[in-house]
Amino acid sequence: MTDIIARLKRERRIAVAIFVCLLLLAALTRALAPSVSSSTPPRADVAGQE
Amino acid sequence: MMERHIRPMALYLLAFAWPWSVYQTEPVFFQPFFVLPVLLLVLTELHARLNGRRFAAPFEFLWPWAVLLGAALARALHVDGAAPLPAACMAAAAFAVAVQSAREQDVRRRCLGLSVLAGAGAGAVSLFAYFRPFHGYVFYRLMPAAYSPETGAVLAFPASVPEGVLTLAVCTLIGLGFMMNPGGAWWRRAAAAVACAVMLAALGTVAAEVFLRPGTLPRVGGLEPASALRAAFTAWRPPAAGTVPPATLVAGAALLWLMSRIAAKGIAGWREQDHAPRLAGAAAVVAGAVLLVLLPGAAYPGHAVLLGLIAGGALPRRTPDTGGNGWLAGVCVLLLPLIALNAVRVDPGNPRDPRNYAVRVRQWDAAAVPGETLRRYLAFIEHYSPAERRTRYILASAWLEAGNLEQAAWDFGRAMVPPTAGPGPLLPPPSARERAAFLSKLRDTSSARPVERRGLAYERALIASGQPELAIDSLRFRVHTDEAPAAGAPAYAAALAYLLGAPEAERTLRAWGASELLELLVQAGAEVQPHLQGAEGPAVLTVRRGPDFVEAQLWLGGGAAGMARRLPGCGAKKARPPHAAGRTPEKGRVLVLHGGAVIVLVALSPAPLVEVSCPGADTRGTPDTVETAVFVYAARDPG
């Protein structure tokens, strides 16, 4: 029983560590990368030739 | 019966079908094939509940799963109404049945093996589609489903490049687990090694296109290579947090927590007997989570199957009660005809197939995707399927929308030319109704312009669509009548017929007056120049250049015509004027010099060499569109 509880605690600690790392990665990429929606030029700017 | 045969069979079908993504679409309702085994497994589980067996998935997996489903429902009902709720429900159901069914070790191992096998097959098809080693019918038509116009990356089987990268990456990691499992049979380890090599090679083609391929990066948005590299990379990043709906953020957090929990279970139990597959499963989940953070839109419901299989393996095992049913994995062979059919054929009624470019272009049009992306995408389609006529029709419509009538008529003309040989097109050519609608819009746009800016676009399009009489009538309406034919009519008529794309119309136009024809040439944008030295009568010079050719033609009075030089690959080689090399050019030679203004050298026997310089008809650079310059030379003054 004690082993099971210790293993569950270990699992939770590992899960929290992975989750925090993933959140940090998501925050970093969003902070560093420009917004995709704002970087899309309007269609007429590119397609219009005249 | 259900528990013993149907459940493993459905699970094997599910595990083998999901990596194929677009290629496993059924041809009636255009849904993914794996919907069928998921429904079978849901029925099996309901049957088991009625027999008193409880649901085995733990609460720590269930609550994020419920949050994900709730967030998808919230998005569909309140946020934008466009969230794919059926896809979210399908993913939730696939995850649940995979967790529940994958707790028997043998069944789970076979399922993971089938997923790796299918991933390797999909990777091999991608390699064939990318390198096209054979130009036979099948491989010629092996049209990749996923193409990134920004980076040039290509994958055959997924709906998008990020989705395919995610599928190949997680399947490779699972395959590595099989390969490094010391308890596995040698043939299984060898097969896993081959599968991993194939999938890594397919991933390598994507990486090479994105980061290494020379010639691709500098073209990205016309930026310098370094900027293009950065742009290609940043274009794959997710949108800024402020643009993401709250329900999506909640769903994303729940999904990341669920994946962290599943990976943690695999990592915490790494000392157990089958540690290599467990660690490989955990690594696949972590890698999948990282890729989901980096690549927006990479997830598709099929990935929930693999997540469920890995999650089921991390739970305490259940005693196998399905016995020796390994032969059932053989039913996956039944899927191969469906996969082969989807690999070489696109159903025009299937809106989910990314190769159905007509639907995709409509979506891009609504989303105001840049015209450059559209042109690159259509060029990609034509590269793989040269017989496409609808791509040219779509381009013509886009140019017409943008107000470039000449280019619209040029592309419309290309859309009217039937393919000579080879496999047929992916989508049918434009119908008579579509052609009539295009001509009607072109006529309205053209007539709204002043006469001197109309050009010959409408008449060109009429002739291309097989209505030369209407084109001649339209020209008649545009000029003033001139009863008496005068000198110059033959040269003008021949040049005008050439500009209209209808050499057979020359005979009709010769009966017209010279002033009428000259007026039409001027309306077509011709510049009137002094008389051509060495030529007795009037002359017309046309220089047409496009992305891959330069074509110059000289029309002389009295019916004599110069020769045309069509030079595909403009700029690829340097031509020198013949007189510079001390040679006399043959009669009527027209020469286009690369890298500078067009110079036409005309040797009019017995007159000496004549050199005509054409300002404004510069051949430097390669234009995106077809441009035509026309110069009219007046007749020599008799005095």
Please report, for residues A46, B69, B309, the alpha-carbon distance to residue B229 in angstroms, rounded to integers and kept in the order given: 21, 37, 37
Average pLDDT, integer, range B513-536: 81
Distance from CA of A2 to the nearest CA of B (A): 15
How many whole angstroms separate alpha carbon B250 and alpha carbon B606? 85
Question: Is A36 in contact with B403 (Cβ distance < 8 A)?
Answer: no
Q: The complex's ipTM?
A: 0.76
Helices (H), B102-224: 105-131, 137-140, 161-179, 186-207
For residue B551, list its beta bridge partners.
B544, B566
Has residue B474 got a pLDDT over 70? yes
Q: How do strand B527-529 and strand B539-546 relate by DSSP bridges? A: unpaired
3-class DSSP state for residue B412?
A: helix
Helices (H), B237-370: 246-268, 275-294, 301-314, 335-344, 357-366
For residue B598, list its beta bridge partners.
B614
How many whole angstroms separate alpha carbon B244 and alpha carbon B246? 6
How many whole angstroms separate alpha carbon B505 and alpha carbon A44? 37
| pLDDT value, residue B319 | 56
User: Higher model confidence: residue B42 or residue B135?
Assistant: B42
Count of CB atoms situated within 10 Å of the CB of B265: 26
B186: which 2 tokens? 């040698």
The confidence band for B603, taking pLDDT boundaries of 50, 70 and 90, is very low
Question: Is A49 in contact with B241 (Cβ distance < 8 A)?
Answer: no
Has residue B403 got a pLDDT over 60? yes
Has residue B500 got a pLDDT over 50? yes
Has residue B479 got a pLDDT over 90? no
Average pLDDT, integer, range B167-188: 92
3-class DSSP state for residue B165?
A: helix
Nearest to A49 by CA among B52, B398, B162, B274: B398
B21: left (phi over 0), alpha (psi -120 to 50) or beta: left
Count of CB atoms situated within 10 Å of the CB of B477: 7
H or E, element range at A37: helix A36-39
Single-letter amino acid, residue B434:
E
| Lowest mean pLDDT, pick from B145-149, B253-257, B617-621 | B617-621
Q: How do strand B609-618 and strand B597-603 relate by DSSP bridges? A: antiparallel
Nearest to B424 by CA among B389, B374, B465, B464: B389
Average pLDDT, integer, range B177-202: 92
Query: Among A4, A5, A11, A38, which would you mutate to test the B interface (most chain B Cβ atoms within 10 Å of its Cβ)?
Result: A11
B395: which 2 tokens? 């381009």
How many whole angstroms separate alpha carbon B113 and alpha carbon B266? 18
On the CB side of B583, how many CA atoms lie within 13 Å of its CA? 8
Has residue B305 got a pLDDT over 70? yes
What is the b/e burial string over B629-639, where b = at least 16 CB atoms within 10 angstroms of the residue's CB?
A: bbbbbebbeee
The confidence band for B426, taking pLDDT boundaries of 50, 70 and 90, is confident
Q: Does A11 touch chain B (CB under 8 A)?
A: yes
Please report, for residues B155, B168, B201, B223, the alpha-carbon distance to residue B163 in angstroms, rounded to integers and kept in the order given: 10, 9, 16, 27
| pLDDT value, residue B606 | 45
pTM summary value: 0.79
Chain B residues inside the 8 Å CB shell of A7: 268-269
Distance from CA of B239 to the nearest CA of A (A): 5
On the CB side of B440, how many CA atoms lie within 13 Å of its CA? 6
**Cα-flanking dihedrals φ and ψ of residue A34, to 5°?**
-70, 160
| pLDDT value, residue B563 | 43
Interface residues of chain B, partner chain A, Cβ below 8 Å:
234-235, 237-243, 252-253, 256-257, 259-261, 263-265, 267-269, 286, 289-290, 293-294, 296, 368-372, 374, 398-399, 401-404, 407, 625
